[in-house]
Amino acid sequence: MPLPDGTHVAYGDIILLIGKDLRQFIRTVKEGQRFECHLGYIEYDALVGTPYGGQVPTHMGHKLFVLVPHTEDIILHLQRLGQIIYPKDLGYIALKLGIHPGSRVIEAGTGSGALTMTLAMLVGDQGHVYTYERRNNMLTRAIANLRRMDLLDRVTFHEKDIEEGFEETDVHALFLDVREPADYLPQARAALRGGGFFGALVPTMNQVLDLAQPLYDGPWYMLQIEELLLRTYKTHPQRIRPDEQMVGHTGYLIFARAVERETRGAAPEETPDDAPVETSEDGDPGEAD
């Protein structure tokens, strides 16, 4: 990956420049070119060799900090053609899907590649991401974003309607970010290994309801429906308080595990809200069918 691993700026580094007004700029240091913004310009050739964490002046005398961007910075500055999955959800999705070095994971649809990038970073060189997208313009944009991060060798891109099914089988995890994920549960189950992780993101409760029943009735288990809310705070030491605006609803998250069992049928099982949680001998929570 081209994110810097040294202590000083070098050609080819992806850097974060940030000035007194806290506006952030993600750029790639290229020989013979310059960075320009409302505070002036900086020649990249003059920037090479600058220690990370230091400040550099523009031609107008304004100073900008030079920092190494982290994953959230990169994702928020992706070139996009539509809405991306928000960073507050990305990390949680990866955690709930059990993504680790060596994982083989499918996602659909690709969009601008925010989740694709996150998964590709986490699966490592021994794992792989298979991503499906019907729209050519979206796929082209995602490929460009992944190329910039030097992650293309970890990703296989399919321009394909997933109604036809997935080309891969026995994968560890599968995530659907499509309009009607309930329509593709059979295809998802066919691609997952036993015990594999399933996830989906939908914006409306109507879609949650459409998805919950077939997950509850079918060859799935441990159904979970969740939503993450994020509130930031003003950070001036003399008046720390919540921001007036917060990142509220960005989507409902649905997770389940792929299992082998007969369908439940139409009659739902009743489980009291105060039912005791079974634990193993060492005190870890468990669940019995």
State the burial class of residue 214 (Cβ atoms within 10 Å of its Cβ: 0-12, 13-18, 19+): middle
Q: How many CB atoms lie within 10 A of CB 78?
A: 19
| Tokens describing residue 165 | 């099914």
User: Which domain covers residue 60, as residue numbers?
Assistant: 14-69
Quick check: is 275 in a domain?
no
Does 61 reside within a domain?
A: yes
Do residues 18 and 144 share a domain? no
Q: Are 102 and 158 in contact (CB under 8 A)?
A: no
Residues 178 and 206 in one domain: yes
Say if residues 107 and 129 touch (Cβ distance below 8 Å): yes
CATH number of the domain to which 52 belongs: 3.10.330.20
Same-domain status, 64 and 79: no
With respect to residue 264, please indicate whether it lies within any of the assigned structural domains: no
Do residues 189 and 238 share a domain?
A: yes
Same domain, 129 and 58: no
- Residue 269: both structure tokens together: 């099982």
Helix spans in 101-253 (H)? 114-123, 136-148, 185-191, 205-217
Q: Which single residue is written with the structure tokens 């990866």? A: 94
Q: Which residue in 108, 247, 234 sits closest to 164, CA to CA?
A: 108
Residue 3 domain-assigned (yes or no): no
How confident is the model at residue 266, as a pLDDT?
A: 47
Which own/partner contact pairs does 49-57 have at CB distance under 8 Å and 24+ positions apart?
Answer: 49/8, 49/9, 50/8, 50/9, 51/7, 51/8, 51/9, 52/4, 52/7, 52/8, 52/9
| Residue ranges of the chain with per-residue pLDDT less than 50 | 266-268, 270, 274-275, 286-289
Residues 21 and 145 in one domain: no
According to the model, what pLDDT value does residue 72 have?
A: 82
Tally: H helices and E strands in the chain:
7, 15
Q: Are residue 143 and residue 226 in the same domain, yes or no? A: yes
If asked whether residues 123 and 23 sit together in one domain, one would say no
The number of folded domains in the chain is: 2
Please tell me whether residues 139 and 21 are part of one structural domain.
no
pTM of the model: 0.81
pLDDT at residue 278 in the model? 56
Peptide bond into 61 cis (omega under 30): no
% of the chain beyond a pLDDT of 90 = 70
Q: Is residue 273 part of a domain?
A: no
| Structure tokens, 12 | 């080819």
CATH assignment of the domain containing 226: 3.40.50.150
The pLDDT score that the predictor gives to residue 126 is 96
Task: Say if residue 38 is in the same domain as residue 106.
Answer: no
> At residue 86, what is the residue type?
Y
Same domain assignment for residues 94 and 179: yes
| Cα–Cα distance measured from residue 174 to residue 93, given in angstroms and rounded to the nearest whole number | 11
